[in-house]
Structures are given as C-alpha cells and as structure tokens.
Amino acid sequence: MDEIKDLACAMVIFGGTGDLTHRKLIPALYNLNHDNKLSDDFAIVSVGRRDKTDEEYRNELLESVRKYSRFKPDNEKWKEFRQKIYYRKLDFSQDSGYTALKAFLSSIDEKHMTKGNRIFYMAVAPEYFEGIVTSIKKYGMATNIGSWQRLVIEKPFGRDLDTARYLNKTITDVFDEKDTYRIDHYLGKEMIQNIMVIRFANSMFENIWNSKYIDNIQISSSETVGVENRGGYYEKSGALRDMMQNHMLQLLSLIAMEPPVNLDTEAIRDEKVKVLRTLEIMSPEIVEQNIVRGQYGPGTVNGKALPGYRQEEKVAGNSVTETFIALKLHVKNFRWGNMPFYLRTGKRMPEKTTEIVIQFNSLPDILYFKNNGGLEPNLLVIRIQPKEGVYFQFNGKKPGTGTEVESVKMDFCQNCETISNSPEAYERLLYDVLRGDSTLFTRWDEIETSWRFIDNIAKAWESKVLDLHEYGPATWGPEEADMLLKRDNRKWWNL
C-alpha cells in the first residue's frame, strides 16, 4: 500500500528501557505492525543507559507485548517485528555517544531503507529533554534536507509557563512546529475523537449546545490507583499539573469549542485554543472559592490496607501535594455565558473512569413529578473509558395506571458493539506521527494558554496555602468537592 510505503523511517526511542516504552510504545507499534500499518522499511532504535544486547532487549520486549498488547504475540508476526528492533546504550548527558548513534542510524538506513527519515521519541524524564534535543542538532541529526525528522515529546511540557517557554525555545531551534508532536495521550482515545462527531454531526445536539439549554457540564476523570512508584515525579506536579493542565483542559476545549471551518489540523486547533483563551481568569479570590484540593489518606479497601499519599515512596511525610482537584470555571464567550463547567480528577477513587456529563435545563415541576419529587434532568453522558459510548437519560412514564414518571436511558456502548477492541490511544497517535498528521497533538499556543490558566491557580496556592482536605481511599474525594456543587444547588453525577 503506497501510503504505508511512504512511512519509511527509523524511530529512535530515548528511554528505551523505561515503563512507557514497555507498556505503551512497543505494544502499540507491535499492534500497528500486526494490522499492516508499518512500512516494510521501518526500524526501531531504542536508546537507554543500561547495558544489554539486541537479543536481550528483544526478549524483554516480548514479555511486555505479552502483558500489555491488544493482540497477543503470534510467532510469525513477532519474528517479523523483532527484526526491526535494535538497542543502543547511550548516556544522554554525555556527548560521545551521539556520534556513534548517528553512525548507527546511517547503517540502519542502508539495512532497512529508512531513507534518513527519523522520529525522535522523548520517553525520558523531562530533565533530559533539553540536552537530547540540543545534541540532536549539534550532531546534525535533524537537518531536514532530503529527508524528514520529527520530534515526539511526552508531558510534562514544562512545569509552568516560563519553563514551558524555555523548553519550547530549545525545541524550535531544532524542529519546526509542524515537526513537533506534543503528546497528550487522551487525544488518541476513541471517544475523545468522537466528541466532535457527536457535536457537529447531530443537529439534535449542536442546536442546543449552549448555556440557554444546558445547565452545567461536568468533566470527571478518576483513578483507583495511587501514585504507585511515581512519587518523585508526582510531588512536583500534583493533580493540577499532572492531569488538569493537559488532559482535562483538552477535554474541555473539545466540549466547548465552536465548529471549525473544516477538519484541517490548524482549523481544529484554532478553535480549541480559543476556548482556552476565553477561560475566566483565576484570581486568588476565585481560586479560594471555586477550587477544592484533596489528598488521599490511608485506609482499607476490600480488606487490603492501603497507604496514604504521605506514606508513598519518595513522598515527603508532610507533603501538601494534591492528589485530587475539583474546580468550577466559566468559558467567557457568547455560547457559554455564565454557565458553569465543573472539572474534577483524582487518584484512589472508587472507579477508574473518565466521562463528561451534559446536564440540560430542567422543566418546571408543573405537570409531572417523580416519586413526589422534581423531575430528573435530561443528561447526555459521553463515556470515554473504560466503557466507550454515549447515553442519554430522559423521562418516561412508569408503566401502570398512575402518572408517575421515571428516568430511562438510551445507551450506546461502542466497545460492546464493535467486533474488534478499539485501538489503544498510542497506536493512533504513533500512526499519525508516521503519517505526519499532527491534528491530535497539542500546538504550542494551546500549551502556552493552558499554562497561563494553571499558573494563576498555582500562584494563588503559593501565596495563600489553600486547605488540603484528606479523603479516604475509594471515595469521590473530600466532602468539600460536593459542597462546591451543593452551594449551586447541583450535584456531581457519579454514574
């Protein structure tokens, strides 16, 4: 297939022995290969600091594919795939290895016909980003002459606006914006891509998608796990930087954006960034009123004792890092006016789920009632994970002789109905990098604008330490998060 032939390239993974490579990148590439979506002229060169042979490395990857891949390794397919994988030892902070890496990549070009095309994937800790990118330039590995070179960069993209700007400056000295792929893996999830289709391909929804008909929108992403072995990283980020600055604000942009003029990459990104630009400015007073911070404490779940955040590895015993955040914000434009958006995300909650609830305005309680109470509002629920789908909650007559009303659901479960399981986010995203399509990656101005919003919150917290509320494991965060909505006569929908 010609399109695939055009994807000839070598993918250089910095951080080849890390968790991301084992859990996500290699399984995703294996699946793409399984689906014949990789060119025959493709090779993977993993770079890490440990000593190991190609054979050892390939065997370790086989274990990871067994554990984490959507398609389990099949002898023939694995044999074909493993021949494309190489491992090179390199100390990222030393210059010497880059000359050897460059020479090795030239030999790969000859062996695998990869034509000098490269994808450089930063799967390393953020403190190495700058040094690696600078060395790529210094050793002439991103000249873009007669071939192409692209950079894929994982989050965190900076830890505030200033550090993000600095990092971006380092990158743009080497790679054009069009060759820079800033990953937000949420954008690779099937249902997130479906948000625009649901909104802009259904007159039923788009015509009422505004503050006149919608009462509020809730975006929730919860996890059952704690920080596990990532305490060192998490201490510096907290839920605000780890989830809110990127995944949650990306979801908000897609839910709140105007229709783009067409489906081109830039047209879509233009509309998303406008939402971020119109976010209400978080003054210290608003932060104090509209944001709740929480941290999970110790407790027992299903008979198992779980540590609190402060007892986790590499976490300070008196840490004030938040593992939960709930906030209320406004998108200050004509479509949304004063309608509130409520966002919350946290670890050690009762379920692993990401969903968006659109709560429509209620009708006056004049004709019908439910159990002598008010009518339940109509809800449109977009389920991102683990179930993928959409459901609509509406009111119907309870069968029988009375006039009592009950809530009923129309439920479309996408991953229950499709025969094959949905591709993993990383499959879609890596395939797009290979094809040179950056629609599902974040443009610099989106990052810049989201940091501006987040920085105001972080600064307000620094100037006046906001209460940090402890919550128990397997709960929906601290009570104060419920109060945030109760105060507005609303409630979180834990559906």
CB of 309 to ligand BG6, least distance (A): 13
Q: What is the 3-state secondary structure (H, E, C) of 141-173?
A: CCCCCCCCEEEEECCCCCCCHHHHHHHHHHHHC
Q: Is the peptide bond before 259 cis (omega within 30 degrees of 0)?
A: no
> Is 185 noted as a catalytic residue in this protein?
no
Which is catalytic among the residues 185, 247, 330, 469? Answer: 247
Q: What residues between 315 and 354 interact with ligand BG6 by CB under 6 A?
A: 354
Least distance to ligand BG6, CB of residue 383, Å: 13
Residue closer to ligand BG6 (CB basis): 242 or 427: 242
List phi, psi (to 5°) of 269: -65, -35
Cα 290 off chain centre by: 24
Of the pair 236, 464, the CB lying nearest ligand BG6 is at 236
Kindly tell me which of 215 and 388 has the beta carbon lying closer to ligand BG6: 388
Binding track over 175-214 against ligand BG6, x by CB under 6 A: ----------x-----------------------------
Question: Is residue 355 involved in binding ligand BG6 (CB under 6 A)?
Answer: no
6 near ligand BG6 (CB under 6 A): no
Interaction with ligand BG6 in 226-285: which residues (CB under 6 A)? 242
Is residue 223 at the binding interface for ligand BG6, with CB under 6 A as the rule? Answer: yes
Footprint (CB under 6 A) of ligand BG6, residues 402-431: none
Least distance to ligand BG6, CB of residue 233, Å: 8
For the CB of residue 263, give the shortest distance to ligand BG6 in the complex, in Å: 25
Tell me the backbone φ, ψ of residue 370, rounded to 5 degrees.
-115, 120
Residue 181 gets the label, from left (phi > 0), alpha (psi -120 to 50) or beta, of beta
Q: Cβ of residue 220: shortest distance to ligand BG6, in angstroms?
A: 12
**CB-nearer residue toward ligand BG6: 194 or 354:** 354
Angle at the Cα of 450 (from 293 to 327), degrees rounded to 5?
Answer: 25
- Residue nearest to ligand BG6 as judged by C-beta position: 242
Fill in the DSSP letter of residue 41. Answer: S
Q: Give the integer Cα–Cα distance in Å for 34 and 170.
A: 36
CA 485 to mean position of chain CA atoms: 25
340 in Cβ contact with 329 (< 8 Å): yes
Q: What is the four-CA torsion angle of 296, 485, 184, 283, rounded to 10 degrees?
A: -100
Active site amino acids: 247
Which spans of this chain sit near ligand BG6 (rule: CB under 6 A)?
Answer: 185, 223, 242, 354
